[in-house]
């Protein structure tokens, strides 16, 4: 017997058309209701996970695509090894440094210039701390099926650690974690964490519990909890420990840790927590008893600092941090590599990575929240009038200075090498200012920009000018200047412009200053690129117009050609057909010579054979 479908049975039943329409209407209306009231039924019927760990990680990658395309970020993922760059997830502000790694976090103290102590021929610049302040969110089930990725945002000095792990249920639901970590740039003793937890939008009915794993770093160190403080808005614990920074030097370290709950409930499918930590230390001293005497003073400073930041909204603290980094980056470099360009010039991402990691080891004194007005004016003066910096060959081709680092040891060594190089080249005043001065010195050194008593000179190697390079916001006294090398269709020129209005007029002229002096404005002025014999700077900028006019008669130039002619003459040589002809003649000459030698050798052999023949005949006849 042929079976009938449910639809046929319904059609053949005695129900009227009106009743049938009512039944169908009820079914259609009830389906969405059942879906939202009993979603687990549909999850079971679908037989697959409602989320994908991989899709969440990749979605965060796509959100940061613009940063990556602009070379302002690095990406690390457990899913896609190919997109990883050399480097490591690191945040720092010149006082504190943190490697944001759940498996192997590293915490360091960076010492200021006035705190450095010369010990046994070494300068102590940083000290590793035996503590772990990094909070790690985990599901209470301890499900290990998870993936992670990290973004290092160079522009804002932020590491974002994205995690996604499956919950312990039959539906395979996921919890998303966005863990943001900063070493606060304008409050250099503050380590700030923000953790956002969420599930899929359609899973808000779930009530999940997250465990915040906090390492007990007091168990295996000499750090001890002093007491617990209750602030009107936050509770925190205070820890004290003594750190040995060398064979004979000690210092006390005080850490204030906000009290966060160990279990977090996601009743609405979304929540966030903030973790504030203050780390302060004394100066290194040789006598351990003196360290103990300094403890109370450091404790009082830590309590005052914690009391201050506890009154500030966390979003405000994050915005302060971003604003400080934005201001530091007002001076910078951008480079566009041309086809067939010099392979020794570092790629743009390597330049940005090097600058970020170096700046993360330096205190931004100018942006410190507690700086006095007189100190701020003194620092600004150092930036505006650095006397002499940079002298010597440009650092653009210095491979040791432009390299990726993968741990704190390599980072410290790279920072030391940069500091030594810049100091030897006359940039000590800029470096003493802090992060902003250091960045200014690096940018100047990249292209060979030099301050002198009367002007700012662009004393670069003409052979690198076939790339497009821009020096942003070079500080020259009270003005900031953009200098761009333009390389279009084989022609090279320089564009110079002011970024702000200037009180005193500012002038510029090209190599040799043979053309009329140009007054600079916000509108870019284009100057030709000339190469002189003997070599001189390709650009001069000064407030003294007469000084630039006098350069024409004081540079004593024997020859002046434009950059294109210089490159053509450098690359020119005898035509290929000449070398082919020379090679052919050499080959023919050797072939002719070989022929003569073989002919001579052959005739000599025949002559000897003839003599032997006649000689033998005589003896036989006899």
Q: Which domains does the chain have, with CATH numbers?
A: 6-37 (no CATH), 53-327 (2.70.98)
pLDDT tens for 485-536 read: 988 877 889 999 999 888 899 999 999 999 999 999 999 999 999 988 888 8
CA separation, residue 551 to residues 231, 374, 452, 539, 542 (Å): 66, 38, 14, 11, 11
pLDDT of residue 182: 98
Give the DSSP letter string of 427-470. Answer: -HHHHHH-HHHHHHHHHHHHHTEEE-SS-EEE---GGGTTSEEE
Which residues make Cβ contacts (< 8 Å) with residue 159, sequence separation at least 6? 89, 90, 91, 100, 150, 151, 152, 153, 180, 181, 182
Residue 26, pLDDT > 90, answer: no
Q: Which helix (H) or strand (E) holds 38?
A: none
CA separation, residue 352 to residues 108, 155, 206, 443, 621 (Å): 22, 9, 43, 11, 100
pLDDT of residue 92: 97
Higher pLDDT, 61 or 323: 323
CA separation, residue 371 to residues 357, 364, 365 (Å): 24, 11, 7
> Which one, of 532, 526, 527, 516, lies nearest residue 565 by Cα?
532
Residue 279, pLDDT > 70, answer: yes
pLDDT band at 288 (very low <50, low <70, confident <90, very high): confident
The predicted model gives 453-468 an average pLDDT of 83
pTM to 2 decimal places? 0.81
pLDDT tens for 66-118 read: 888 889 999 887 655 544 557 899 999 999 999 999 888 999 998 764 444 44
- Cα 194 to the chain's mean position, in Å? 21
For 213, the 3-state DSSP assignment is strand
Strand partners, 336: 468
pLDDT of residue 567: 57
Please count the other Cβ atoms lying within 10 Å of the Cβ belonging to residue 459.
21
- Cα 134 to the chain's mean position, in Å? 21
Higher pLDDT, 353 or 290: 353
């Amino acid at each position: 017997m042929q079976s009938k479908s449910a639809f046929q049975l319904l059609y053949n039943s005695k129900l009227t058309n009106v009743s049938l329409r009512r039944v169908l209407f009820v079914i259609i209306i009830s389906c969405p209701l059942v879906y939202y009231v009993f979603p687990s039924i549909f999850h079971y019927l679908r037989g697959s996970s409602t989320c994908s760990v991989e899709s969440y990680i990749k979605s965060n990658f796509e959100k940061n695509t613009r940063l990556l395309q602009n070379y302002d970020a690095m990406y690390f993922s457990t899913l896609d090894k190919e997109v990883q760059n050399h480097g490591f997830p690191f945040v720092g502000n010149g006082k504190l440094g943190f490697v944001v790694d759940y498996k192997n976090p590293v915490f360091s103290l960076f010492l200021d210039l006035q705190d450095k102590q010369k010990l046994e021929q070494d300068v102590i610049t940083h000290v590793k701390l035996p503590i772990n302040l990094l909070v790690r969110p985990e599901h209470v089930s301890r499900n290990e099926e998870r993936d992670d990725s990290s973004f290092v945002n160079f522009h804002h000095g932020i590491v974002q650690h994205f995690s996604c792990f499956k919950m312990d249920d039959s539906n395979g639901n996921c919890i998303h974690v966005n863990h943001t970590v900063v070493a606060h740039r304008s409050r250099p003793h503050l380590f700030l964490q923000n953790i956002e937890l969420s599930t899929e939008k359609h899973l808000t009915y779930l009530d999940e519990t997250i465990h915040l794993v906090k390492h007990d770093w007091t168990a295996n160190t000499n750090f001890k909890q002093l007491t617990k403080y209750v602030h009107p808005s936050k509770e925190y614990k205070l820890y004290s420990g003594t750190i040995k920074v060398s064979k004979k030097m000690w210092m006390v370290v005080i850490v204030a840790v906000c009290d966060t709950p160990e279990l977090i409930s996601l009743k609405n499918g979304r929540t966030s927590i903030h973790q504030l930590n203050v780390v302060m230390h004394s100066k290194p001293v040789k006598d351990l008893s003196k360290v103990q005497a300094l403890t109370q003073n450091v404790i009082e400073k830590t309590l005052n600092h914690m009391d201050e930041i506890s009154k500030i909204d966390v979003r405000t603290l994050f915005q302060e941090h971003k604003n400080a980094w934005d201001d530091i980056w007002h001076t910078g470099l951008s480079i566009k590599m041309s086809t067939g360009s010099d392979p020794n010039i570092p790629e743009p991402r390597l330049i940005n990575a090097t600058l970020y990691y170096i700046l993360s080891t330096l205190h931004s004194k100018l942006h410190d929240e507690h700086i006095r007005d007189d100190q701020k004016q003194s620092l600004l003066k150092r930036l505006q009038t650095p006397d002499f910096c940079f002298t010597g060959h440009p650092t653009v081709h210095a491979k040791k200075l432009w390299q990726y680092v993968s741990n704190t040891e390599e980072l410290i060594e790279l920072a030391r090498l940069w500091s030594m190089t810049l100091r030897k080249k006359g940039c000590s005043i800029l470096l003493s200012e802090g992060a902003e001065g250091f960045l200014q010195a690096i940018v100047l050194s990249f292209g060979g920009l030099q301050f002198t008593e009367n002007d700012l000179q662009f004393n670069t190697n003409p052979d690198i000018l076939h790339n497009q390079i821009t020096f942003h916001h070079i500080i020259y006294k009270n003005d900031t200047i953009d200098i761009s090398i333009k390389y279009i269709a084989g022609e090279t020129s320089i564009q110079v412009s002011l970024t702000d209005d200037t009180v005193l007029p500012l002038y510029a002229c090209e190599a040799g200053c043979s053309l009329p002096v140009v007054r600079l404005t916000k509108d870019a002025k284009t100057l030709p690129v000339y190469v002189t014999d003997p070599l001189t700077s390709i650009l001069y900028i000064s407030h003294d117009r007469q000084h630039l006019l006098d350069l024409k008669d004081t540079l004593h130039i024997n020859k002046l050609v434009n950059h294109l002619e210089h490159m053509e003459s450098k690359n020119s040589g005898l035509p290929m057909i000449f070398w082919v002809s020379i090679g052919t003649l050499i080959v023919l000459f050797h072939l002719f010579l070989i022929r003569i030698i073989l002919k001579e050798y052959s005739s000599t052999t025949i002559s000897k054979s003839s003599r032997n023949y006649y000689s033998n005949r005589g003896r036989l006849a006899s």
